[in-house]
């Protein structure tokens, strides 16, 4: 997948997320804001709640089964991606790590989470090696294809396996594929409620400032 294709994909899907939330039941209006400093996020002007998030059961990088309830009481900073992702995923995970560094002691209230959309390749062992490259606090989650499909649907995340074209991969093996996916970082509240999101390109400083406003 070329970088241009990635940029077009994530931009289109970020818009799709906004539209999806705006049309969700119980939501009157979703306002996407871009401040003078380039801050990107979304605030809902409604008496209801946007339908993003919900219960899930997955497996962490140690092989332990976890549910959404294990994270209640903390702010969850969630990103969906895959370990074979060439540039977008590492960039966003580095931004998350940088934001936690900017928050200092306040970061103890935030749990960063990386959910794989490539469960066939991203086993707990693979995730364990991957997440430690970014931040020791980062938890990697995987599961069965059905479990990943369920949590992706709950968070309105798009992902699709795409076979490598001839010449792009190393052969015709079954694992010669990439995964197109939306690239949005979600901030969820201590009770699992959606608070805001960060589109691709947000700096660690901007992310930390926005997160800090909720802590």
Residue 19, judged by CB atoms within 10 A of its CB (0-12, 13-18, 19+), counts as exposed
Is the pLDDT at 34 greater than 80? The verdict is no
pLDDT of residue 51: 81
For 90-146, the pLDDT digits (tens) are 999 999 999 999 999 999 999 999 999 999 999 999 999 999 999 999 999 999 999
- The whole-number pLDDT of residue 181 equals 92
Report the distance separating Cα 30 and Cα 24, nearest Å: 10
Burial 110-132, CB ≥16 within 10 A → b, else e: bbbbbbbbbbeebebebbeebbe
68: closest CA among 150, 136, 171, 160?
150
* CATH architecture assigned to 51-165+173-212: 3-Layer(aba) Sandwich (3.40)
pLDDT of amino acid 42: 46
Reduced to 3 states (helix: H, G, I; strand: E, B; else coil), residue 52 is coil
Give yes or no for a contact between 114 and 127, defined as CB atoms under 8 angstroms apart: yes
* % residues pLDDT > 90 (the chain): 67
65-69 — which CB contacts under 8 Å span 24+ positions?
A: 66/141, 68/192
Which pLDDT band holds residue 45 (cuts at 50, 70, 90)? very low
Q: What is the DSSP pairing of strand 40-44 with strand 57-60?
A: unpaired
> Helix, strand or coil for residue 87?
coil
By three-state DSSP, how is residue 93 classified?
helix
Q: Where are the beta strands (DSSP E) in 51-193?
A: 57-60, 65-67, 75-81, 110-116, 139-142, 159-163, 177-181, 185-188
Q: Is the pLDDT at 14 greater than 60, yes or no?
A: no
Instruction: Select the more confidently predicted residue: 24 or 65.
Output: 65
Alpha carbon distance, N-terminus to C-terminus of the chain: 38
Contacts of 189 (CB under 8 A, 6+ apart): 75, 195, 214
Question: Does 86 score more than 70 pLDDT?
Answer: yes
């Amino acid at each position: 997948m070329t970088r241009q294709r990635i940029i077009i994909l994530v931009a289109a899907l970020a818009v799709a997320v906004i539209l999806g939330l705006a049309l969700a039941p119980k939501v009157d209006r979703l306002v996407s804001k871009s401040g003078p400093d380039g801050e990107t996020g979304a605030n809902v002007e409604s008496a209801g709640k946007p339908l993003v998030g919900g219960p899930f059961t997955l497996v962490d990088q140690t092989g332990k089964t976890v549910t959404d309830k294990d994270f209640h009481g903390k702010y969850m900073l969630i990103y969906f991606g895959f370990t074979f992702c060439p540039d977008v995923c590492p960039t966003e995970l580095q931004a998350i790590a940088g934001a936690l560094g900017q928050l200092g002691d306040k970061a103890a209230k935030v749990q960063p989470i990386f959910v794989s959309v490539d469960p066939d390749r991203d086993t707990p062992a693979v995730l364990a090696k991957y997440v430690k490259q970014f931040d020791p606090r980062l938890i990697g989650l995987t599961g069965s294809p059905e479990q990943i499909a369920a949590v992706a649907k709950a968070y309105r995340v798009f992902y699709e396996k795409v076979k490598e074209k001839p010449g792009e991969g190393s052969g015709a093996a079954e694992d010669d594929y990439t995964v197109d996916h939306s690239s949005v970082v979600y901030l969820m509240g201590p009770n699992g409620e959606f608070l805001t999101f960060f589109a691709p390109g947000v700096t660690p400083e901007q992310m930390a400032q926005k997160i800090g406003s909720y802590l």
